[in-house]
Structure 1
Amino acid sequence: MKVVAFERNLQGTGASRRLRNAGKTPAIVYGVGAEPQLIELDHNALWHALKKEVFHSSILELEVGGKSQQVLLRDVQYHPFRQLVLHVDFQRVDPNKPIHTKVPLHFMNQESNPAVKLSSAIISHVVNEIEVACLPGSLPEFLEVDLAKIEAGQSLHAKDIALPAGVSLIAHVEAENPVIASATVPAGAVAAGEDEAAAE
């Protein structure tokens, strides 16, 4: 995904306020042994881009002054109540060095799960993203979690996610192996099932 930005020379609260009044958003690019670079982006284009999942989880091609560099979105500051982006941080990436970043989880086959269809189970998504390590070129836009076979009372953990080649869970996620989804049967559904069994 390509992002076009422009260099900015002025910094400080007053300069940032003037930028925002002109429909621009101040931002910074840092990392990979180079000096931090102050930039500005068109606010409306940025606002729409931020609504796309891919903008948060992919390597972006950031073009500044005709020169392109690969970056990751690292931080976004929003106004507390207005639809306004106050500031954005981008981090440069080295294609030869592993990165740590969060990747969205896409939950698949929930509707066809037998526990949902037959046992009135409810599948809860405990987390919606997971932190991984990989080279920039191997970064997936998202990871699929197959819920087709999770049974009532069971949970899926981080290690159950099928990871693409070259992608691994970061060390503390690997060690903790947190729950990412669980299937539970509501008390009312259990009671109804018992009543039906007793009637038979």
Structure 2
Amino acid sequence: MANVFEFIAEARSETGSSAAKVVRRKGKVPAVLYGGSASPEMLILDHNDLLKHLAHEAVYSHVLDIKVDGRTEKAVLKHIQRHPAKPQILHIDFMRVDAGHKLKVHVPLHFINEATSVGVKKGGVINHSMSDVEVLCMPSALPEFIEVDMANVDVGSTLHLSDLVLPAGVEIPELHQGVEHDHPVVQIVKPKTSTESAAE
């Protein structure tokens, strides 16, 4: 299988919804590469190859190689439009990466020590409020994921964005907008009693 961080694309000149439908009928996916000092580029990718790449979680938080007409562009995945009922990718957006400038990317959260956490041992139930978080960093510092250690989280406790342990050079831009943006990430709550469940 091809490198999961390498996408082979071809340039396309036709734009619009009708042109996109023609591309999809051929088993391809219309895409756009934008950002940086260069103009946006319209691209075409093979649908089956794309699905294989997207099956890997790491693709969503890595700097990718987009190979077009013999040259390579560095980019990150910014948006995927999926068919609402079929396992089909309708469109994909890539944003160019400049090694000298910071970028904003959503990075997955990996929750560890859940089963052995203090709160779970007391019968608590874990509620996840987030599965990923947007970070700001230089491309070279982009983490594949951020670990959330649940070992010492007790019943009734909530971890917020400000509680996350970030790698060096990585920040959460939302936290700069004020305390009200320090959103909950995960909490351990008391399990509902049979009386409470019946009342609901």
- What is the TM-score normalised by the length of structure 1? 0.89
User: Using the alignment, how far apart are the partners of 1:49 and 1:105 within structure 2?
Assistant: 20
Show CA shifts across 1:38-79 (max 9, x none): 110000111222222112221111111111111011111122
In the alignment, is residue 123 of structure 1 matched against residue 146 of structure 2? no
Equivalent AA in structure 2 for residue 127 of structure 1: M
Q: Do the aligned partners of 2:12 and 2:42 also contact (CA within 8 Å) in 1? A: yes
In the alignment, is residue 58 of structure 1 matched against residue 62 of structure 2? yes
Report what 1:145 is aligned to.
148
Equivalent AA in structure 2 for residue 48 of structure 1: K
1:81 deviates by 1.8
1:6 deviates by 0.9
Indicate which of 161, 164, 173 corresponds to 1:161: 164
* RMSD of equivalent CA atoms: 1.7
In the alignment, is residue 187 of structure 1 matched against residue 192 of structure 2? yes
Q: Do the aligned partners of 1:24 and 1:42 also contact (CA within 8 Å) in 2? A: yes
Equivalent AA in structure 2 for residue 144 of structure 1: E
Report what 2:82 is aligned to.
78
Q: Which runs of 5+ in 1 are unaligned?
A: 192-200
The percent of aligned pairs where both chains have the same amino acid is: 35
**Alignment size in residue pairs:** 189
Report what 1:12 is aligned to.
16
User: Using the alignment, how far apart are the partners of 1:187 and 1:63 within structure 2?
Assistant: 53
Q: Do the aligned partners of 1:77 and 1:86 also contact (CA within 8 Å) in 2? A: yes
User: Using the alignment, how far apart are the partners of 1:98 and 1:77 within structure 2?
Assistant: 25
Q: Do the aligned partners of 2:174 and 2:182 also contact (CA within 8 Å) in 1? A: no
Q: Do the aligned partners of 2:102 and 2:136 also contact (CA within 8 Å) in 1? A: yes
User: Using the alignment, how far apart are the partners of 2:28 and 2:161 within structure 1?
Assistant: 39
User: Using the alignment, how far apart are the partners of 2:137 and 2:82 within structure 1?
Assistant: 29
Q: Do the aligned partners of 1:158 and 1:174 also contact (CA within 8 Å) in 2? A: no
Q: Pick closer, same or farther for the CA change 1:173–1:106 going to 2, 3 Å.
A: farther
Counterpart secondary structure, 2:193: helix
User: Using the alignment, how far apart are the partners of 1:113 and 1:28 within structure 2?
Assistant: 44
1:35 deviates by 0.8
Report what 2:37 is aligned to.
33
